[in-house]
């Protein structure tokens, strides 16, 4: 006996009478399990069509956690610009952002990200003011010679 594709049927295996040889006939979908979904909701495992409410970045707690910046590069630059203390603090907070993102903790990751940004800003501003002050003292000192 051959199957519908012209290949021989394996020895000793015969399809039951009245049923197709392999699974369901072409074009038929299997029946879903359980009860149908309530009005306006998608069944489990089905993506929501476009235009329906879903998860978005603007909704609290449901944003794209990978969109939260960790400011790692800025934290490393803060070591050289803003001083060792601010740089180390910024790198530690940046690492916390990464840890919270891996844990899926949206609120704590966002909070640590904002703290990292603040530490980097303060460190760089103070470092920049220190550089300007040192440059002024250097110019005044050289002019006094």
- pLDDT of 78-104, one tens digit each? 999 988 999 999 999 999 999 999 998
CA distance linking residue 3 with residue 7, whole number of Å: 6
Residue 77 belongs to domain spanning: 70-144
Q: Model-level pTM?
A: 0.55
Contacts of 67 by beta carbon, 8 Å cutoff, 6+ apart = 57
* 120 part of a folded domain: yes
At 145 the pLDDT is 84
Tokens encoding 133: 């002050």
* 140 part of a folded domain: yes
CA distance linking residue 2 with residue 39, whole number of Å: 46
* 112 part of a folded domain: yes
Contacts of 64 by beta carbon, 8 Å cutoff, 6+ apart = 57
* 136 part of a folded domain: yes
CA distance linking residue 44 with residue 71, whole number of Å: 37
* 3 part of a folded domain: no
* 137 part of a folded domain: yes
Contacts of 104 by beta carbon, 8 Å cutoff, 6+ apart = 65
How many domains is the chain built from? 1
* Sites in the chain below the pLDDT cut of 70: 1-63
* Contact indicator for 107, 61 with CB cutoff of 8 Å: yes
Residue with tokens 């039951």: 16
At 26 the pLDDT is 59
At 65 the pLDDT is 76
């Amino acid at each position: 006996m051959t199957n519908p594709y012209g290949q021989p049927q394996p020895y000793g295996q015969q399809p039951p009478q009245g049923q197709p040889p392999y699974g369901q006939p072409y074009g038929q979908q299997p029946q879903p399990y359980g009860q149908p979904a309530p009005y306006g909701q998608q069944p489990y495992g089905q993506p929501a069509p476009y235009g329906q409410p879903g998860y978005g970045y603007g909704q609290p707690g449901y944003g794209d956690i990978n969109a939260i910046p960790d400011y790692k590069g800025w934290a490393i630059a803060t070591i050289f610009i803003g001083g060792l203390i601010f740089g180390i603090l910024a790198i530690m907070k940046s690492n916390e952002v990464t840890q919270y993102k891996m844990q899926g903790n949206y609120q704590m990751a966002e909070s640590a990200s904002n703290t990292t940004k603040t530490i980097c800003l303060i460190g760089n501003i103070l470092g920049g003011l220190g550089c300007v002050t040192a440059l002024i003292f250097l110019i005044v000192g050289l002019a006094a010679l």
